[in-house]
Structures are given as C-alpha cells and as structure tokens.
Amino acid sequence: MPGLIGREAFERVAGAALELPGVDGVEVLFMHEWGGLTRFASSRIHQSTWREDTALRVRVVRGGRIGVAASNAFSPEGARAAAESAREMASVVSPDPLFPGLAPPAPVPEHDGFDEAVAAASPELRARGVADLVAQVPSGCSAAGAFETIAVEVGLANTEGQVCWAPTTQASLTTVVTGPDGGSGFAEVFGRRLDAVDPAAVGRRAADKAVRSASPRAIEPGEYEVVLEPNAVSTLVGFLAYIGFGGRALVEGRSCLSGKEGQRVADPRITIYDDALSPETIGLPFDFEGTPRRRVDLIRGGVFLDGVYDRRTAKQAGKESTGHALPPPNPEGPFPLNLFMAPGEAGLEDMVAATSRGLLVTRFHYSNIVNPVESSITGMTRDGTWLIEDGEVRHPVVNLRFTQSILEALSAVSMVGRDTELASEFFFSASRVPALKIDRFRFTSRSDH
C-alpha cells in the first residue's frame, strides 16, 4: 500500500527543474494520487480496482512565451527533462500578453485534510462496507453503486520562491436500489474521513426510497412547487458555479452574472460562498498556481458580490487572485471547487407541509446547459420523485424532464433546510448544500428513464 511521498522529496525533485537555465521562470506542479474503487451491481461486487499515479507538470516562461510539459517520471532527471521540453515549447509559441507572472511567495494556511484510514483503505474494508449496505436491501430489491477511497498530495514550487505542499483524502459511497414495479431509490455520502461514511445508513435510505417509489403514476408536466433534497440542489449550485462564478466568463461578459455585481439575483435567503479551508468539505489550502485559498463570498442575502479568479483573470479584471486556478494549461479559467450554500431553519418535513401541490425530488440526472447567459439547464428527475398535495406526500410519479433557469429558481426559494449534505455534480468538485423549497419550477415533459 503506498503512502505519502512527502514535501521534502517533492522539493528535491522540483529543484532540478527550477535550476533550468536560459528562462525567465519555472513552475513545478506535483500530484500524487492513489486509491481503490469497488463497484457492485445486483447486490454483488463485480469489480475492485486500485490505482496510483504520480505526475509532474512543469510550466516555463521564456520571453513572454509559455510552455507546459507533463511527465510521470518522478525523479530529478524526470523533472529536468520535463522542464527542458517546456522550454523548447516556449521557444516556438506566440507571446502571451495576458500572462500575469508566477505566484509570489505567500504563506499557506494550516489545513488538516488527510485521514490515514482513507489512505490505507483496503479492498476488504470496502467489501465489508458494501456488504453492510446490501444487508439493508429488502427481498425483491437489488443494489448497485460504488465505494471509493482516494488520497492525494499536491505540491507546487516556482522560481519566485513560492513552495507549498498538502495532502487530502476523500471517501464516497453511492448506491441506487431498484425494486419491483418501477421503484428506485438513490443515496450517497461524501467525506474526507472514513468515519463519515456509514454504509448501512446509505443502504437504508436508498432502500426506503425504492420501496416508497414503486408503481409511479404519470402526471402532466407544467410548473410546480418543488421540495429539492440536497443532491438535487447540488446540481443547481454546481452548474451555477460552472456557468456563473468563473472569472473568465465574467470578464468576457458571457456569464449569467456578468455586470450584476451588487444586484439581487436570488431570494434573500440564499447565501453561497466558496471555502476550501472548511473542515466540512474536501479541499486544498492553495490552488494550482500556488496562491493561498480563503473563503470567498459569492452571493450574500441574494445579492451577487463577485466571482472567483486565477492570476490571469484577476489581471484582466483589475483584481487579485482568489486562489481558484486549475492546473495549466487551462482554457476554462478559474472555478470554485468547494461551494457552500448557507443553511436555513426548516426541516424537510416543514417544506413538505408548506406545499399545496408540488413535487418532492431526490435528485436530477443527465443535466446539461441550455443557455448559459440565462442560467438555463435541462435534465430529469430520477430515483425517487413524489407528488405532494395539501402538505402530504401522496404517491410516486413517473420521472419528468425539466428546463429551468437556475437564477429564476433561486429567486423563487421560500424555505431553506437546516441540514446540509456534501454532494458532487462534477468529478473534481463538491458542494455542501441544504434542501430547498422552490415555489416555481418548470417541468416540460415526461421521461421514461
């Protein structure tokens, strides 16, 4: 079982690249990842895999030109060879007038994001977890899903003098339980510590939804009140991050939030921020340029404050980097990876009781962007959707497809849940969000899937 390579070994290897002659600057990004994945279907494990990857990404600045080269040879010789390749690339590409320079030295906050139990998790441990989950599934139902444990260490060093290194871990368990008569239920848990994952609780939650969603009835599409559980809310927040909060989209005027700084864009109950340093999420204390991370308020009391920036987009906007750079080369620009929506005071049962006629939605599936400037996305409900009438859950319904502006939905929020869950819409980010009651949500057609 692998372990941490460590800061000292990283600095020794990176030093060979930083000494490259004939250039204006060098940056070395180090990523070492290992972990296991156990997949199951029909309530049986069918695949257990393990992987380890150690990578260097070297960026070289030469006469205003930028070259980037990658290598899996983690050694002084491998780092030096990657730097030489990047120098060669930098000699033939066009100058980059927007290059902001490498990150200067800056202290990185202390951050305890590493759990040895996750890093050392074995296939046997994950198999026991799957067994505990499957034991909650009643006769006539079956479970499918995955249990994953990942450890990562990231380091960055450059010729400006910035050096930073940190490890982090992530454990996740996801399942869909299917039963007779069209019933299905979804549940998942994410956390940076192994003790955050309770397989039996995940199995009970999904199995309960599968049983209760059997024999769904068709209803007409249209505009409904909705009570969205946290996983469904994470879809809205994740897509808003992608199309709204990034500095490149903002400065280029193609974000749904471009030009709206200081304006109300959501209900006053909505506050969204990014905070990689919180113990309630999975993050690193610096970005992939070496800029220290900090909490960044994005929407406060329904008012849009600002987005997130890397060094390039900060230079374009006349601001400072917020510590949200992705690994180079990065055509997408910065992205908030550790979003939070502030909780409210309502329980899920309170939201249901306050709904005259609407839908209780477990999660969305197969979501995609329709119009980024309008913050419109489309997708479908899945694995647990019920009709609510007169404050009570009446019966399961056939899945529906939606097309909805995210900002319009957030402007129609009338209740915010007091409990939050960590969920992931995209593979490299996670959002901690509560449930929401939204008074107007547009469903356009029925879905057979």
Closest CA to 403 of 433, 380, 432: 380
pTM score: 0.96
C-beta of residue 65 within 8 angstroms of C-beta of residue 96: yes
The yes-or-no verdict on residue 425 having pLDDT over 90 is no
Model pLDDT, residue 201? 98
Q: At what angle do helices 76-90 and 7-18 cross, to 10 degrees?
A: 40
pLDDT tens-digit map of 291-341: 999 999 999 999 999 999 999 999 999 999 999 999 988 888 999 999 999
Judge if the upstream peptide bond of residue 180 is cis by omega within 30 degrees of 0.
Answer: no
Which position has the token pair 């995609």?
Answer: 368
The yes-or-no verdict on residue 158 having pLDDT over 70 is yes
pLDDT tens-digit map of 225-268: 999 999 999 999 999 999 999 999 999 999 999 999 999 999 99
pLDDT tens-digit map of 16-58: 999 999 999 999 999 999 999 999 999 999 999 999 999 999 9
Q: Residue 77, class by beta-carbon neighbours within 10 Å (0-12 exposed, 13-18 middle, 19+ buried)?
A: exposed
C-beta of residue 363 within 8 angstroms of C-beta of residue 238: no
Separation CA 357–CA 362 (nearest Å): 17
